[in-house]
């Protein structure tokens, strides 16, 4: 289960990065290109993915001391 969550976190981060690049109009050719809304959504998605990776990989013994 831990491996699945790590893979999911990485995929969410990559998707967020893609949306940021489209929202910033760096990757063109999409209806999302140049739309700042997707830049913000991508940043939120990256934060979520990083949080998922952090939560999944932090030490479990430190919580109970």
**What is the structure's pLDDT at 64?**
57
User: pTM score, two decimals?
Assistant: 0.85
pLDDT over 90 at 1, yes or no: no
pLDDT of residue 55: 94
Top-confidence residue, 4 or 1: 4
Q: Which residues contact 56 (CB under 8 A, 6 or more apart)?
A: 2, 5, 6, 9
pLDDT in tens, 13-38: 999 999 999 999 999 998 999 999 99
The mean pLDDT value for 43-50 works out to 98
Integer Cα distance of 5 and 49 in angstroms: 10
Q: How far apart are CA 61 and CA 12, in angstroms?
A: 27
Average pLDDT over residues 36-54: 96
How many CA atoms within 13 Å lie on the side-chain side of 8? 12
């Amino acid at each position: 289960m831990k491996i699945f969550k790590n893979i999911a976190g990485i995929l969410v981060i990559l998707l967020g990065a893609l949306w940021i690049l489209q929202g910033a109009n760096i990757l063109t050719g999409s209806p999302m290109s140049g739309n700042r809304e997707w830049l913000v959504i991508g940043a939120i998605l990256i934060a979520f993915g990083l949080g998922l990776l952090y939560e999944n990989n932090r030490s479990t013994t430190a919580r109970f001391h």
